[in-house]
């Protein structure tokens, strides 16, 4: 089986929240994404609820047919919510209220004891735990030390590279981190900022078994429809050249 596509439906909810109405519904988008071949639905329940609401999580838990991946901060409040709704996967991500979007990866190295407790708590609840980290070997090793099941490599710097040299450097970091994570027996995902132009190189990395992509798919879906936007992304992942 090839790489799983996790479709992040946060920004369908961004459009809904712009007018505080009931549409477009990320639950509908998730169903369309799965019909188009997505292997996972990803949502980020932020502390400031700028887009995804707990209502979305509750209903998606009932309707998602593939895997439900809840991105969340590593706080006790969020652990309680995860226990209540039992997503298949929790991805722990850093959060700063004033950030436009996720900026860096989780600082695992600097908070190993606290993270190890949170991860154990979630795993005791039969929830798979992934850590959203920068493609940094120290962070990969620290993720293994705190018993994470998976890591998700932050591809933001690769996606935002200002020139080819910078892009190649960031790409090499991702390759090295993916290999290190796989060698340590962790599942390796990647995400943030991936789009129809930059995804193929990442999709060619054998050690990466999952890509989580949201903003670019939702942006294209506004123009061509959700199912087509997902199918076009899957086509690029399955034929990365
Ligand atoms: C962790 C990550 O890179 C994204 O999945 C995250 O959801 C970005 O935050 P927004 O969706 O709020 O942009
Ligand atoms: N973890 C990355 C994700 O879920 C989607 O990020 P983006 O494609 O919206 O930047």
The per-residue DSSP string of 113-179 comes to HHHHHHHHHHHHTT-EEEEEE-S-HHHHHHHHHTT-SEEEEE-HHHHT-SSHHHHHHHHHHHHHHHH
* Residue 224: per-residue pLDDT: 98
Strand partners, 152: 132, 189
Reduced to 3 states (helix: H, G, I; strand: E, B; else coil), residue 21 is: coil
Q: Residue 39 pLDDT more than 80? A: yes
* Alpha carbons 49 and 218: distance in angstroms, whole number: 19
Distance between Cα 46 and ligand 1 center (Å): 9
**CATH topology for the 2-236 domain:** TIM Barrel (3.20.20)
Distance between Cα 44 and ligand 1 center (Å): 6
177-194 b/e with 16+ CB inside 10 Å = b?
A: bbbbbbeeebbbbbbbbb
Q: What is the model's pTM?
A: 0.97
Question: Residue of the nearest CA to atom 1 in ligand 2?
Answer: 191
Mean pLDDT within 208-235: 98
Looking at the CA of 216, name the nearest ligand.
Answer: 2
Distance between Cα 1 and ligand 1 center (Å): 26
104 belongs to an annotated ligand binding site? no
Distance between Cα 100 and ligand 1 center (Å): 9
209-225 b/e with 16+ CB inside 10 Å = b?
A: bbbbbbbbbbebbeeee
* Residue 41: per-residue pLDDT: 99
DSSP label at residue 3 = P
* Alpha carbons 164 and 170: distance in angstroms, whole number: 10
Quick one: tokens of 199? 């995804």
Q: 204: pLDDT confidence band, cut at 50, 70 and 90?
A: very high
Find all residues with CB under 8 Å of 18, minimum gap 6, and list them. none
Give the pocket of ligand 1 (CB within 6 Å): 8, 10, 44, 71, 93, 101-102, 132, 191-192, 214
> How high is the ipTM of this complex?
0.96
Q: Residue 1 pLDDT more than 80? A: no
How wide is the angle at C-alpha 10 spanned by C-alphas 7 and 13, nearest 5°?
130
Mean pLDDT within 56-63: 98
Find all residues with CB under 8 Å of 146, minimum gap 6, and list them. 108, 112, 115, 116, 119, 131
> Which of 13, 39, 42, 68 most suits a substitution to test ligand 2, by most atoms within 8 Å of the C-beta?
42
Which atom from ligand 2 is nearest to the alpha carbon of 216?
A: 8
Q: Kindly list the domain boundaries of the chain, sorted by start residue.
A: 2-236
* 41-45, 100-104, 113-117, 122-126: range with lowest mean pLDDT: 100-104
227: number of Cβ within 10 Å: 18
> Which of 7, 10, 174, 197 most suits a substitution to test ligand 2, by most atoms within 8 Å of the C-beta?
10
Burial of 69 (0-12, 13-18, 19+ CB in 10 A): buried
Which atom from ligand 1 is nearest to the alpha carbon of 193?
A: 3
pLDDT digit string (tens) for 96-110?
A: 878 888 889 999 999
**Backbone CA torsion sign across 114, 120, 125, 128:** positive
Which atom from ligand 2 is nearest to the alpha carbon of 8?
A: 4
56: number of Cβ within 10 Å: 22
Burial of 164 (0-12, 13-18, 19+ CB in 10 A): exposed
Is 144 considered catalytic here? no
């Amino acid at each position: 089986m090839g790489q799983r596509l996790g479709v992040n439906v946060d920004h369908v909810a961004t459009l809904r929240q712009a007018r505080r109405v009931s549409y477009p519904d990320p639950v509908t988008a998730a169903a369309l994404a799965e019909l188009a071949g997505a292997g996972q639905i990803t949502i980020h329940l932020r502390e400031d609820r700028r887009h995804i609401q707990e209502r979305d999580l509750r209903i998606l838990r009932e309707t998602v047919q593939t895997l439900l991946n809840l991105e969340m901060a590593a706080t006790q409040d969020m652990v309680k919510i995860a226990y209540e709704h039992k997503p298949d996967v929790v991805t722990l991500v850093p959060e700063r209220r004033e950030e436009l979007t996720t900026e860096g990866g989780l600082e695992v190295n600097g908070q190993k004891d606290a993270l190890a407790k949170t991860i154990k708590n979630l795993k005791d609840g039969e929830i798979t735990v992934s850590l959203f980290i920068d493609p940094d070997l120290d962070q990969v090793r620290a993720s293994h030390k705190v018993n994470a099941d998976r890591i998700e490599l932050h591809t933001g710097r690769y996606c935002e590279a200002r020139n080819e040299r910078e892009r190649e450097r960031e790409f090499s970091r991702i390759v090295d981190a993916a290999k290190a994570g796989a060698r340590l027996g962790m599942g390796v995902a990647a995400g943030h900022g991936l789009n129809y132009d930059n995804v193929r190189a990442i999709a060619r990395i054998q050690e990466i078994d999952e890509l989580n992509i949201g903003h670019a798919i939702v942006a294209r879906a506004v123009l061509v429809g959700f199912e087509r936007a997902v199918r076009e992304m899957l086509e690029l992942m399955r034929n990365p050249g």
